[in-house]
Structure 1
Amino acid sequence: MSNNTVSEGMVVSDVKTETSPLRASPSKKYFWYNCSPCCSEDHSNSLKTIVIVLFGTTGIITLALLTQVYYGEYQVQKSGTVASDSYECSNIGIDVLKAGGNAVDAGIATTFCLGVVNFHVTGIGGGGYFMLYNHKKHKVIDVIDFREVTPAAYNVESNEDLVDGLVVGVPGFVKGLWDAHEKYGKLPWKDLVTPASNLARNGFSISKSLISVISYIKPSPYNSNLVLLLNSLRQGKNVSLHELAATLDIIALKGADAFYNGSIAMDMVYTVKLANGSMSLQDVAQYDTSNGDVLRTQIGDYDVIVPGSSSGGALLLNYMDAIEMLDLKPDVDTSAEIVLKLSDTLHDAYLLFLQKVNGFVEQPEPVGSQVSVVDSEDNYVTITSGLNTWLGSQIMTSYGFILNNAVSNGGLNEERRPVSMASPIIVLQNSEFCGKRYILGSGDVAMAAQLLTNLLIFNRNVSSSIESPRFNIDNIPRHLRLEDHDPEFSVDAIVPLRQLMKIEKVLPPYKSINVIEKLIDSIKSYSDSRGGGRPAQF
C-alpha cells in the first residue's frame, strides 16, 4: 500500500529512494574506554596490533561503502513520481514505472496521453524537447531537439504573408519520443502508446482549459472539422476521439515510420496543401531529430541547466543572469517595484535576444505541455512539447490530430527549425551532491524565469513559487498582462503600475509549470493549478 500524502496539487513521499549504508563509527573516547582494561604493560604490544587491525579494517570497509554509494548500484525500493497537467496522464506514467519502466518510458507515455486530453496544447502534430539527467552520474545524459522543421519550399518574405497552411512545420513529436525510447527505453514501445489510444477511444473528461481555448478559434475554410469538434464540447462531459485513437494504434504497432511514411504522411501533406501550405512528402520522410547542446548558468548556489539549439533555453539563462544582477529584496522592495524591475529586465533581455535571431516574430501566447519524471535509478526526465500556441494552426487532419503553427515564429536555425520559447529545465544545488534538485520546464521561458526568481532568488518554497501570480509581457508595443489567478496581484502592486504602462488581464487558460523537488531521499511533486492536473507517485 502506498504511503503518499496528497495535498493541493502536491504529492510528498515518505518512501526513501536513496539509502546510505554508512553509519557513525564509535568515538575514539568510547573505544579507548572499553579497551583500557587491556592496557597493561604486558599487553601493550597486543593492543597496538588490535588497534592497527581494527582501524585498517574500518578504513577498508569505509572505502568500499563510499565506492558503493557513488559508483555502485543503488540498493533502493522501486519508486517514482510524475508531474503533469493531467492526473489521468500522471497515473499512466506511474503505471509504466510500476511495470518496470524507467523515467524515459514514463515520460513518453505521459506525453502521449497529454496529446489526447490536452489536444489544444500538444499532440502528434507538434514538436518539443527532451532532456535526460542522471544524478548518479551527475551529468546530462542527452538532449533531443524534436522541434518542427520548416518545409524546404518555404519562401516567405514577411510574417504578414504567413497564412493558413504556410505556418505548419513538419511535426517532430512522434520521432522525438521514438528516438528517446530507442536509446533509453525499457518497456515495449506499444505499451507506452496504447494507454493514450485507449483513452482517446474510450473517452475522457473535458477540461476547463480546453473549454477556455474555444474563444481562440478563428473561423477559416480550413478548420471546419476542428470547429465542429470544439463546438460540441461541454466542460465536465466526456468526449471520444476515434480518428486519433486509430492513428495512435497504428503508431503503437508500427512505430514512428508509420507516421512519416505512408497514409498518415500523405493525408497530412494533402491537408496542408489544401490550406495553401508548401509541405511535401519528402519533407515529412526526411524529418529527423537533433542532439541539442547543453547550456548552464549559476544563480546563487544553483546550476540552471537547459538545452540550447532552437529552444528558449538560452533566453531563459539570459533572463536569470540579468535578474540576479538586480539584487532584488522582497522584504525591502514593494510588490510594484519588484514587478516593474522584473518586467523591465525581461523586456530588455528579450530585445537583445531579438537582435541575435534574424526573422524571429513574437507570438502572443507561446504555450506548451510539460512532464517531469523521477525514477528510483535517479533518472530525471523533463519533456516539453506543444503546438506552439493554443490550437496551433487550427488545422485538423482527417487522422484526428491538430497541426502546429511553429513556422509563424520565424528565426530559423541552420536545421530550419523555428526558434521556440519552450525549454526543459534542470536545477541543481551545487554546494551539495545530494542537495536540492528541481525538474521542470515551460512552454514560455518568461513564465519559468518568474518561477525561478521566486524559488532561487527569493528562497520561497516550491508550492508558493508555482502558485505566485505571474505576468505576460507584450514587448512591442510594451504592456503588461496580469493573470486573474488566485492568488492575484495585490492592489498595492497594480495601482502604481497603471501609472507607468498599459495593464491588461491575461485571458485564460494560463500557462502551467510542473515541478519535482528532490532533497537527499525526499521527493515532492507539484502540478501547477493553472494546468488543472495533479502529480502521481508510488
Structure 2
Amino acid sequence: MSSDYCRICTSILRDYFGQDVSEIAKPLQWGQKSLMTLSTMLDGKYPRHLIQETLIVLLQFNFVSAICNVHSVQIEYKLNMENILMILRYPKFLSIIKRKFGNQYKELVETLLCLGRASLSKIVSECIKLQNKTDDLYNNYWEKAIELIKNEYFKRTPTYVVWTEVKQNKMFAPPTKNQKGEKKILFTLNFNKFHQDMRNKIITDAVVRIFDDTIVGEVMSTILSQCADSSAPVSNPISLQLIRSNLSVGHNYLLEYITMIEEDPTKFLSKSYGTMCNITVNFKQIINCLNDSIMDQVVSYKFGESSARLFRATRSNKLLELERLQQTALIPDRETKTLTSELFMNNYLQVQELRKPNTRLGRNDGKSFYLYHLNERQLHQELTEEILKMIGNCMMWKFKTCEDNKRLLKNKARFDGMVQGLQDKQEADKDFFEEAMDNLFSPTVYDHDGSEKTPLYAKNNNEKALLKLIIAFCMAFCFGLLFILLIHIHYGSNQLVLHGNVASDNDQCSQYGIDVLKMGGNAVDAAITAALCNSVILLHLSGLGGNGVMVVYDHRTGIGNTIDFRATPSSHNITGVPGFLAGLFYANVKYGLLPWKTLVEPSITLAKTGITVTESLLEAINQNTTKLIEDENLKHWISTVSNSSLGQIIKVPNGLIKTLTSISLHGPIEFYKEMSEELKLMLKPDDVMSYKPLILPVLRQKYMNYCIITSNKGTGGPILLKVLNKMNNTNTYFEDLSLLNSFKDLGDNWDQNFGLQVSTTDVFDLYVTIISGLGSVFGSRVLTKSGYILNNALDLNLKGHLLNQTERVTSLHLPIIAVETENLCGRRLISGAADVRDGTQLLLSMLKTDPQDILNVNAITRFHFKNNDVGIEYPNNITKQFSKLLFTFKFNVCNATLPYPTSNIVQKVEDRSVAFSDSRGSGKSYTL
C-alpha cells in the first residue's frame, strides 16, 4: 500500500464526506483499530460521539468493516480502501446500466450508491422520492429492481459485522414485496459484475479494432456474456449451440467467425471437439496482450517510437545482447545505445551481466555479456504508482482551486439562487433586482444603474486630489521598498533554503554536502560530494582505490535501490578492481540533479589547500600494521604525517590533484584507462576497463515497529536480517550476549572491515547512505603514483575461499534505513557501518533509544568480535557484571584496536530532523 494510494483515499473521503470524516478515517489506513485506539490516536481532536457517527456512516457504505477480535471482546474497524477507490468508477457504472437497460434502471443504481446499503423497498421508495415521481410507479420500479438482482448487479449483503454472512445460493435471491422481514434484507452493488461488463467491453472493442468488423465484435460479446465471472485463466466451455441461440445476427457464418478469431496470433479463443463443439476464452492471454499494448503505448509516448520498438523486441526475445537487439529492432548502432541507456535509466529495461567462461587453460579474458530483459511486474507496479500519483495530484489541485475560489463559488451559488427566484416570480421586479445586485456586489464597485466604476473613480475634484496624493505616496513607498529588497538580495544571505541533512566524518566535507543542497542538488548529489571529499582527507580508510555500496530510498514512493560497487576479482590475490568512482558516477547519472563536475570540484579545492592531520590518521599510523608497509610511496607519505602534529595541514599524496582534475573533466572512463596502464602488472586491463556497478533492489524486514531497509546479496544486509531473526529481545546484558552468540552461530570468522559512512536527506524525502572503504586500514598498503591507496578486499574477505570470477568480492558493508511502519511521517533513521557487526549493534541501540535521546547513541559502547574474541571500545564503561558474564560464556576479552569505526546518523520525526556525526571520529554534521 503506497503513500499515493492512501493520499487518494483521503482526498476522496474529504471531497464526498468532509474534512472531519477524512481525518478520523486516516489512522485506519495503517491497520484495523478499536474505537478506543482510534480515539487515542486522534489525540482528543474529535469527541467520541463524532468518531462513532463517522464509523456508522462509513459502515453504511462498506468503506469500513467491523471485525470481532478473537482474542478480546472488542470490535475493531478496518478501512476498505479498495471500496473507497471504487467511487471513482461510479460514473462508469451508471453509464453501463443506462446503456444496457435504460434511465429507470440507472436511477435505481444511483439511489443505491447514495444509500450505501438498503432493503429493496427502501431503494425503490427513495428512488421515487429523489426523482419526484408519483407513488403509482412503485410496482414498475420494484420489477426493475428485481431484474437488476436477477442480472446480479444487486447482491445481498450482511449487516455491519463480517461474521454474519450471506449464503452463496441466496446471494442473488430477490425478496417478495410483502415478505416478512423484507426490510432487514439489505442489498448493495455487486462490483464484480460491473467489472465483468467493463472487461467484456474492453475485449470486444479490441476484437473490433483487430478485425475491423462489428459482426465479429458481436460474436465475441455474445461469447463473453456466457462466461462465468471467475479469475480463472481460461473460461468455462461454451457450446456452439448456446452461442448461436443468443446471437442476433451473423449466425449463418458463426463457425467461420469463431475460426477467424481463433486463428489470429492473439489466440483469444480456443475450440475443442467432443460430443459437441465447445469454445473457451483465454482470459490470461487476452490480459497479457492488453498489458503489452498499454506498455507499448506508454513507452512510445514517453520515449518515442524507436524506443518502443526496442522495448517490444526485448519483450519478445526475453534476453538480448545489445548487438542482437539493434539488429532485431532495425535501429542504427549509436541510436540503439542511446535509447537503451535511456530506457535502462528509467527502469524500463534491466541488464543481466554474464561473465565469459574460463578457457581450457583456466584463463579468463575479463569480458562480460550484457543481456537486456524486462521486469514486467516491476514496470506494472511503477506505472500503477505513477497513475495513482497523477490522480492524487488532480484531486489535490481541484481541492486547492475550490479553496482559493471559495468566495467566487459562494457568490455564484447566490446568483444562481437569485436567478431561480426571478424565474419563480415570472417577472423581473426592479426592486428585487436592485436588492440582489446590492447583496451580490460591493456598492463601491458598481453604480446604481449597474455599470462598473473605474478603479480611479472619484465624485469631485477634492476626491481626485486626495486620490492622487495617496497614489503618489504608495508609489514612493513601493519604489523605496523595492530598492531595499534588491540590495538585500544582492548582499544578504538566503532567508529560505531547502531542507536537508548531511552527516559525515569530516566537518568540511559535510559543509560541502550542504552547499550542494543549497545549489539545488538532491541527497544523492550531497552524498557523492561528501564521500569524495572524505576519500581525500581520510584516505587511509577510503578512496579512489576502494569499493562500497549505496542505498537510495524514496520515502514518498517507498521505492529503494542498492547501488553495488564492490571490488571484482582479477589476477592479484589481495587487490580487487576498485568500484568506488564507478559507483558514485553511476549514482549521479541515475539519480543526481547537478553536473558531475560540480560534485568533484570541492574535493579538488580541498586537495589543493591541503588536508588536516586527524586523530584517526595518527592512530592508524601508530598501529603495528604500518610496520609491514613495503611500498616506498606510502612509506614516504606516512613519514611526512608522522612528523606532523594533530590539526596540522599537510600535502596530499603526489598525483592525487591531477587524478581528481582528470576525473572532474572526463569522469571514470579516463580514470580506469590510466589505472589499467599503471597497474597492468597487478590487475588485468580488461578487468579494469569492463568494471560496471550493479543496481539491485533493497532488502526489507520488519523488526519491532520498524521496516529495516538494507543492501542486497554479497554485503552485510542479508547477514543483518539473519541475525535479527536469531536474536532474543531481553534486557541489555543478555541482548548483547544474544548478539554475540548469533554471529558465532553464523560461523563468524571475518576480519574487521573498516571504512567511512555518509548519511544524507533532502526536501524530496530522498534518503541516502553510502558505505565505502579499502577493506582494512591502509587497504593493501600500496600507494599508486596517481595518489590513491589500493584496497585489500580479496585478502580481507576471501581467505580460504576459491575465487569465482563471475561474482563480486563479499563485503561486510551495511547501509541501514529504518522506517516506522505504523506512521508514514513517523520516525526514520538513516545510517550504516563498514562492518555488519558494528552496524547491528548501532541499529539495536537506535531502535531502543527514545527519539529525543538519540544523541546518546554515541556514548553506547560497541564490541568488535570474531568467534570467541571480543574487543571492547571504551573498556572503562563496561560494568563488572557484564565482564563476568563474558568470561562465564568463555569469551576472550581485550581492548578494541584504534581507530574505532564510525557511523553517522540522520533521524527524522515528522518534519523535524537531526543529524550528528559519531563522536569516535572527528566529523561534524549539518542540518538545513
User: TM-score, normalising length from structure 2?
Assistant: 0.45
- Residues 296-347 of structure 1, C-alpha deviation per residue, up to 9 Å, x if partnerless? 1111110111111221110011122222xx12124xxxx4x44333312222
Partner residue, 1:346: 743
Contact (CA 8 Å) 2:656, 2:787: kept in 1 or not? yes
Please point out which of 388, 391, 399 is paired with 2:778.
Answer: 391
- Residues 403-444 of structure 1, C-alpha deviation per residue, up to 9 Å, x if partnerless? 000111125567431111102111111111111111111101
Please point out which of 766, 782, 788 is paired with 1:379.
Answer: 766
Contact (CA 8 Å) 1:130, 1:382: kept in 2 or not? yes
Higher relative contact order (CA 8 A, sep 6+): 1
Partner residue, 1:245: 657
Alignment of 1:183-332 (within 5 A): 183-214=590-621, 215-219=623-627, 222-233=630-641, 234=644, 235-241=646-652, 242-261=654-673, 263-269=674-680, 273=681, 277=682, 279-323=683-727, 326-330=728-732
Q: In structure 2, what is the Cα distance between the partners aligned to 1:61 and 1:308?
A: 32
The answer to whether structure 1 residue 87 and structure 2 residue 507 are counterparts is yes
Larger helix percent = 2
Specify the code of the residue in structure 2 equivalent to 1:490. Answer: T
Specify the code of the residue in structure 2 equivalent to 1:454. Answer: S
Q: In structure 1, what is the Cα distance between the partners aligned to 2:724 and 2:857?
A: 15
- SS class of match (1:399): coil
Q: In structure 2, what is the Cα distance between the partners aligned to 1:106 and 1:432?
A: 27
Q: In structure 2, what is the Cα distance between the partners aligned to 1:529 and 1:223?
A: 32
Q: In structure 1, what is the Cα distance between the partners aligned to 2:884 and 2:831?
A: 33
- Residues 41-64 of structure 1, C-alpha deviation per residue, up to 9 Å, x if partnerless? xxxxxxxxxxxxxxxxxxx99994
Q: In structure 1, what is the Cα distance between the partners aligned to 2:544 and 2:670?
A: 12
Contact (CA 8 Å) 2:774, 2:792: kept in 1 or not? yes
TM-superposed CA distance for 1:196, in Å, is 0.7
Please point out which of 436, 453, 463 is paired with 2:827.
Answer: 436
Structure 2 residue runs of 5 or longer lacking an equivalent are 1-9, 21-44, 51-390, 401-495
Alignment of 1:41-56 (within 5 A): none
Q: In structure 2, what is the Cα distance between the partners aligned to 1:229 and 1:172?
A: 24
Deviates more, 1:490-499 or 1:305-314: 490-499
Describe the shift of the 1:422–1:61 C-alpha distance in structure 2 as closer, same or farther (beyond 3 A): closer
Contact (CA 8 Å) 1:293, 1:309: kept in 2 or not? no
Q: In structure 2, what is the Cα distance between the partners aligned to 1:457 and 1:346?
A: 20
Q: In structure 1, what is the Cα distance between the partners aligned to 2:392 and 2:881?
A: 61
Q: In structure 2, what is the Cα distance between the partners aligned to 1:251 and 1:63?
A: 44
Q: In structure 1, what is the Cα distance between the partners aligned to 2:718 and 2:756?
A: 19
Describe the shift of the 1:415–1:92 C-alpha distance in structure 2 as closer, same or farther (beyond 3 A): farther
Describe the shift of the 1:339–1:424 C-alpha distance in structure 2 as closer, same or farther (beyond 3 A): closer
Partner residue, 1:462: 854
Q: In structure 1, what is the Cα distance between the partners aligned to 2:394 and 2:590?
A: 34
The answer to whether structure 1 residue 362 and structure 2 residue 750 are counterparts is yes
TM-superposed CA distance for 1:482, in Å, is 0.5
Partner residue, 1:11: none
Contact (CA 8 Å) 1:469, 1:483: kept in 2 or not? yes
Specify the code of the residue in structure 2 equivalent to 1:100. Answer: G
- Residues 72-97 of structure 1, C-alpha deviation per residue, up to 9 Å, x if partnerless? xxxx9612110011111111100111
Deviates more, 1:494-503 or 1:417-426: 494-503
Partner residue, 1:47: none
Partner residue, 1:445: 836
Larger strand percent = 1
Describe the shift of the 1:103–1:219 C-alpha distance in structure 2 as closer, same or farther (beyond 3 A): same
TM-superposed CA distance for 1:227, in Å, is 1.6
Please point out which of 554, 557, 561 is paired with 1:134.
Answer: 554
TM-superposed CA distance for 1:268, in Å, is 2.9
Describe the shift of the 1:304–1:232 C-alpha distance in structure 2 as closer, same or farther (beyond 3 A): same
Identity level (%): 32
The answer to whether structure 1 residue 471 and structure 2 residue 882 are counterparts is no
Partner residue, 1:418: 809
Contact (CA 8 Å) 1:212, 1:508: kept in 2 or not? yes
Contact (CA 8 Å) 2:545, 2:774: kept in 1 or not? yes
Describe the shift of the 1:65–1:489 C-alpha distance in structure 2 as closer, same or farther (beyond 3 A): farther
Describe the shift of the 1:216–1:130 C-alpha distance in structure 2 as closer, same or farther (beyond 3 A): farther
Q: In structure 1, what is the Cα distance between the partners aligned to 2:397 and 2:812?
A: 42
Describe the shift of the 1:216–1:89 C-alpha distance in structure 2 as closer, same or farther (beyond 3 A): farther
TM-superposed CA distance for 1:490, in Å, is 2.2
TM-superposed CA distance for 1:114, in Å, is 0.6
Partner residue, 2:882: 493
Contact (CA 8 Å) 1:455, 1:465: kept in 2 or not? yes
User: TM-score, normalising length from structure 1?
Assistant: 0.77
Question: Where does structure 1 differ by over 3 angstroms across 4 or more consecutive aligned residues?
Answer: 20-30, 60-69, 216-222, 411-415, 457-461
- Residues 173-203 of structure 1, C-alpha deviation per residue, up to 9 Å, x if partnerless? 1100010111111111111111112211211
Query: Higher Cα Rg: structure 1 or 2?
Result: 2
Describe the shift of the 1:61–1:367 C-alpha distance in structure 2 as closer, same or farther (beyond 3 A): closer
Contact (CA 8 Å) 2:908, 2:914: kept in 1 or not? yes
Partner residue, 1:358: none
Specify the code of the residue in structure 1 equivalent to 2:756. Answer: S
User: Aligned Cα RMSD in Å?
Assistant: 3.0
Q: In structure 2, what is the Cα distance between the partners aligned to 1:473 and 1:319?
A: 14
Contact (CA 8 Å) 2:546, 2:773: kept in 1 or not? yes
Partner residue, 1:357: none
Contact (CA 8 Å) 1:77, 1:376: kept in 2 or not? no
TM-superposed CA distance for 1:456, in Å, is 2.2
TM-superposed CA distance for 1:362, in Å, is 2.1
Describe the shift of the 1:481–1:221 C-alpha distance in structure 2 as closer, same or farther (beyond 3 A): closer
The answer to whether structure 1 residue 121 and structure 2 residue 541 are counterparts is yes
Q: In structure 2, what is the Cα distance between the partners aligned to 1:112 and 1:517?
A: 23
The answer to whether structure 1 residue 535 and structure 2 residue 925 are counterparts is yes
Q: In structure 2, what is the Cα distance between the partners aligned to 1:510 and 1:434?
A: 33
Contact (CA 8 Å) 2:916, 2:926: kept in 1 or not? no
- SS class of match (2:823): coil
Q: In structure 2, what is the Cα distance between the partners aligned to 1:531 and 1:436?
A: 25
Please point out which of 521, 533, 556 is paired with 1:101.
Answer: 521
- Residues 272-306 of structure 1, C-alpha deviation per residue, up to 9 Å, x if partnerless? x3xxx4x1111111111111232111111101111
TM-superposed CA distance for 1:374, in Å, is 0.3
Q: In structure 2, what is the Cα distance between the partners aligned to 1:399 and 1:518?
A: 40
Specify the code of the residue in structure 1 equivalent to 2:784. Answer: T
Alignment of 1:160-175 (within 5 A): 166-175=573-582
Count of aligned pairs between the two proteins: 444
Q: In structure 2, what is the Cα distance between the partners aligned to 1:62 and 1:103?
A: 24
Specify the code of the residue in structure 1 equivalent to 2:562. Answer: V
- Residues 78-132 of structure 1, C-alpha deviation per residue, up to 9 Å, x if partnerless? 1211001111111110011111111111111100001011101101100111111
TM-superposed CA distance for 1:259, in Å, is 1.1
